[in-house]
Amino acid sequence: NLIAFTMDLRSDDQDLTRMIHILDTEHPWDLHSIPSPSMGHPLEVGLALRHLLFLLEYCMVTGYDWWDILLHVQPSMVQSLVEKLHEEYTRQTAALQQVLSTRILAMKASLCKLSPCTVTRVCDYHTKLFLIAISSTLKSLLRPHFLNTPDKSPGDRLTEICTKITDVDIDKVMINLKTEEFVL
Protein backbone atom coordinates (compact mmCIF):
# COMPACT_ATOMS: atom_id res chain seq x y z
CA ASN A 1 0.00 0.00 0.00
CA LEU A 2 1.23 3.43 -0.88
CA ILE A 3 0.58 6.64 1.01
CA ALA A 4 1.14 9.91 -0.84
CA PHE A 5 1.26 13.34 0.73
CA THR A 6 2.57 16.76 -0.23
CA MET A 7 4.64 19.23 1.73
CA ASP A 8 5.49 22.83 0.90
CA LEU A 9 9.08 23.84 1.57
CA ARG A 10 10.47 27.37 1.54
CA SER A 11 14.11 28.05 0.88
CA ASP A 12 16.11 31.01 2.20
CA ASP A 13 15.09 33.16 -0.75
CA GLN A 14 11.40 32.37 -0.05
CA ASP A 15 10.93 30.18 -3.14
CA LEU A 16 8.12 27.74 -2.59
CA THR A 17 8.77 24.14 -3.55
CA ARG A 18 6.02 21.59 -3.30
CA MET A 19 7.34 18.08 -2.69
CA ILE A 20 5.37 14.91 -3.25
CA HIS A 21 6.27 12.15 -0.78
CA ILE A 22 5.30 8.54 -1.37
CA LEU A 23 5.61 6.06 1.49
CA ASP A 24 5.37 2.30 1.01
CA THR A 25 3.65 0.82 4.07
CA GLU A 26 5.07 -2.65 3.42
CA HIS A 27 8.61 -1.26 3.42
CA PRO A 28 8.54 1.64 5.89
CA TRP A 29 12.06 2.74 5.03
CA ASP A 30 11.09 3.37 1.41
CA LEU A 31 10.20 7.05 1.25
CA HIS A 32 10.35 8.59 -2.20
CA SER A 33 10.34 12.37 -2.52
CA ILE A 34 10.01 14.16 -5.81
CA PRO A 35 9.45 17.83 -6.49
CA SER A 36 5.99 18.53 -7.80
CA PRO A 37 6.32 19.52 -11.44
CA SER A 38 3.78 22.31 -11.14
CA MET A 39 4.87 23.75 -7.78
CA GLY A 40 1.37 25.14 -7.43
CA HIS A 41 1.36 26.77 -10.87
CA PRO A 42 -0.30 25.49 -14.05
CA LEU A 43 1.98 23.40 -16.26
CA GLU A 44 2.48 23.90 -19.95
CA VAL A 45 0.43 21.38 -21.91
CA GLY A 46 3.37 19.35 -23.26
CA LEU A 47 4.93 18.87 -19.85
CA ALA A 48 1.58 18.00 -18.29
CA LEU A 49 0.96 15.42 -21.02
CA ARG A 50 4.33 13.78 -20.36
CA HIS A 51 3.68 13.58 -16.61
CA LEU A 52 0.17 12.22 -17.09
CA LEU A 53 1.38 9.71 -19.67
CA PHE A 54 4.12 8.51 -17.32
CA LEU A 55 1.63 8.07 -14.47
CA LEU A 56 -0.88 6.26 -16.71
CA GLU A 57 1.84 3.92 -18.01
CA TYR A 58 2.89 3.21 -14.44
CA CYS A 59 -0.69 2.34 -13.52
CA MET A 60 -1.09 0.20 -16.63
CA VAL A 61 2.01 -1.87 -15.90
CA THR A 62 1.66 -2.16 -12.12
CA GLY A 63 -2.10 -2.60 -11.96
CA TYR A 64 -2.66 0.37 -9.67
CA ASP A 65 -5.86 2.35 -10.04
CA TRP A 66 -5.72 5.27 -12.49
CA TRP A 67 -8.88 7.13 -11.45
CA ASP A 68 -7.02 9.71 -9.35
CA ILE A 69 -4.85 10.59 -12.33
CA LEU A 70 -7.94 11.22 -14.46
CA LEU A 71 -8.84 14.12 -12.18
CA HIS A 72 -5.95 16.08 -13.71
CA VAL A 73 -6.74 15.31 -17.35
CA GLN A 74 -8.32 18.17 -19.25
CA PRO A 75 -10.74 17.34 -22.08
CA SER A 76 -8.37 18.85 -24.65
CA MET A 77 -5.63 16.38 -23.61
CA VAL A 78 -7.66 13.19 -24.04
CA GLN A 79 -7.03 12.54 -27.74
CA SER A 80 -3.26 12.93 -27.55
CA LEU A 81 -3.04 10.96 -24.29
CA VAL A 82 -4.92 8.02 -25.82
CA GLU A 83 -2.70 8.09 -28.92
CA LYS A 84 0.54 8.28 -26.93
CA LEU A 85 -0.63 5.60 -24.52
CA HIS A 86 -1.38 3.35 -27.49
CA GLU A 87 2.08 4.06 -28.96
CA GLU A 88 3.72 3.05 -25.69
CA TYR A 89 1.57 -0.08 -25.55
CA THR A 90 2.58 -1.15 -29.07
CA ARG A 91 6.27 -0.78 -28.16
CA GLN A 92 5.94 -3.55 -25.56
CA THR A 93 6.65 -7.21 -26.26
CA ALA A 94 3.82 -9.38 -27.57
CA ALA A 95 3.58 -11.27 -24.28
CA LEU A 96 3.23 -8.08 -22.26
CA GLN A 97 0.72 -6.70 -24.76
CA GLN A 98 -1.41 -9.79 -24.28
CA VAL A 99 -1.35 -9.32 -20.50
CA LEU A 100 -2.14 -5.61 -20.71
CA SER A 101 -4.70 -5.73 -23.54
CA THR A 102 -7.86 -5.49 -21.44
CA ARG A 103 -6.32 -3.04 -19.00
CA ILE A 104 -5.37 -0.59 -21.75
CA LEU A 105 -8.86 -0.85 -23.26
CA ALA A 106 -10.41 -0.03 -19.90
CA MET A 107 -7.96 2.83 -19.43
CA LYS A 108 -8.72 4.24 -22.89
CA ALA A 109 -12.46 3.99 -22.22
CA SER A 110 -12.18 5.88 -18.96
CA LEU A 111 -9.98 8.53 -20.60
CA CYS A 112 -12.39 9.00 -23.51
CA LYS A 113 -15.28 9.57 -21.11
CA LEU A 114 -13.63 12.85 -20.13
CA SER A 115 -14.07 14.55 -23.49
CA PRO A 116 -17.28 15.11 -25.45
CA CYS A 117 -15.30 14.66 -28.69
CA THR A 118 -14.42 11.04 -27.90
CA VAL A 119 -17.73 9.72 -26.57
CA THR A 120 -18.20 7.36 -29.52
CA ARG A 121 -14.85 5.75 -28.77
CA VAL A 122 -16.06 4.94 -25.25
CA CYS A 123 -18.77 2.75 -26.75
CA ASP A 124 -16.22 1.10 -29.04
CA TYR A 125 -13.84 0.31 -26.18
CA HIS A 126 -16.60 -1.01 -23.92
CA THR A 127 -17.99 -3.14 -26.75
CA LYS A 128 -14.55 -4.57 -27.45
CA LEU A 129 -14.08 -5.36 -23.75
CA PHE A 130 -17.48 -7.04 -23.72
CA LEU A 131 -16.65 -9.13 -26.80
CA ILE A 132 -13.30 -10.16 -25.30
CA ALA A 133 -15.14 -11.29 -22.16
CA ILE A 134 -17.63 -13.32 -24.22
CA SER A 135 -14.82 -14.84 -26.28
CA SER A 136 -12.86 -15.81 -23.16
CA THR A 137 -15.95 -17.33 -21.59
CA LEU A 138 -16.77 -19.41 -24.66
CA LYS A 139 -13.16 -20.52 -25.09
CA SER A 140 -13.01 -21.61 -21.46
CA LEU A 141 -16.15 -23.72 -21.90
CA LEU A 142 -14.55 -25.77 -24.67
CA ARG A 143 -12.20 -28.53 -23.71
CA PRO A 144 -10.64 -31.06 -26.04
CA HIS A 145 -11.98 -34.60 -26.06
CA PHE A 146 -8.44 -35.67 -26.90
CA LEU A 147 -5.43 -33.54 -27.69
CA ASN A 148 -5.03 -33.36 -31.47
CA THR A 149 -3.04 -30.17 -31.53
CA PRO A 150 -1.24 -29.46 -28.26
CA ASP A 151 -0.07 -26.06 -29.50
CA LYS A 152 -3.62 -24.74 -30.03
CA SER A 153 -6.41 -24.43 -27.55
CA PRO A 154 -9.86 -25.68 -28.55
CA GLY A 155 -11.07 -22.09 -28.79
CA ASP A 156 -8.25 -21.19 -31.18
CA ARG A 157 -9.01 -24.29 -33.25
CA LEU A 158 -12.69 -23.33 -33.41
CA THR A 159 -11.75 -19.81 -34.50
CA GLU A 160 -9.57 -21.26 -37.24
CA ILE A 161 -12.39 -23.50 -38.45
CA CYS A 162 -14.89 -20.65 -38.45
CA THR A 163 -12.59 -18.41 -40.50
CA LYS A 164 -12.10 -21.13 -43.13
CA ILE A 165 -15.83 -21.67 -43.55
CA THR A 166 -17.34 -18.72 -45.39
CA ASP A 167 -20.99 -19.60 -44.68
CA VAL A 168 -22.79 -17.08 -42.54
CA ASP A 169 -25.40 -19.62 -41.47
CA ILE A 170 -24.46 -20.89 -38.00
CA ASP A 171 -26.25 -24.21 -38.59
CA LYS A 172 -24.02 -24.98 -41.59
CA VAL A 173 -20.92 -24.11 -39.59
CA MET A 174 -21.98 -26.39 -36.74
CA ILE A 175 -22.69 -29.27 -39.15
CA ASN A 176 -19.17 -28.98 -40.60
CA LEU A 177 -17.53 -29.16 -37.17
CA LYS A 178 -16.15 -32.46 -35.99
CA THR A 179 -17.92 -32.91 -32.68
CA GLU A 180 -15.32 -35.32 -31.32
CA GLU A 181 -12.81 -32.47 -31.18
CA PHE A 182 -14.92 -30.38 -28.81
CA VAL A 183 -16.84 -31.25 -25.68
CA LEU A 184 -18.96 -28.70 -23.85
Q: What is the pLDDT of residues 32-72, one digit of tens each?
A: 666 555 545 566 778 888 888 988 988 888 888 888 888 88
Torsion, Cα 4 73 52 50, to 10 degrees, reads -140
* 42 or 172, which is more confident: 172
Parse the chain into domains and list their residue ranges. Answer: 1-41, 43-141, 142-184
pLDDT band, very low/low/confident/very high, at 6 (cuts 50, 70, 90) = low
Query: What residue type is assigned to position 126 of the chain?
Result: H
Q: Is the pLDDT of residue 178 over 70?
A: no
The reported pLDDT for the residue numbered 34 is: 60
Mean pLDDT in the chain? 77
The reported pLDDT for the residue numbered 71 is: 83
How do residues 83-127 score in pLDDT, each as one tens digit?
A: 999 999 999 899 999 999 999 999 999 999 999 999 899 999 999
Q: Which residues contact 26 (CB under 8 A, 6 or more apart)?
A: 1
The reported pLDDT for the residue numbered 12 is: 54
Helix segments in the chain, DSSP class H: 45-62, 67-70, 78-90, 94-112, 119-141, 154-164, 170-176
Three-state DSSP class for residue 12: coil
CB-facing half-sphere around the CA of 74: CA atoms within 13 A: 9
Give the N- to C-terminal CA distance of the chain in Å, as an integer.
42
Q: Is the pLDDT of residue 168 over 60?
A: yes
Please state the pTM of the whole predicted model: 0.64
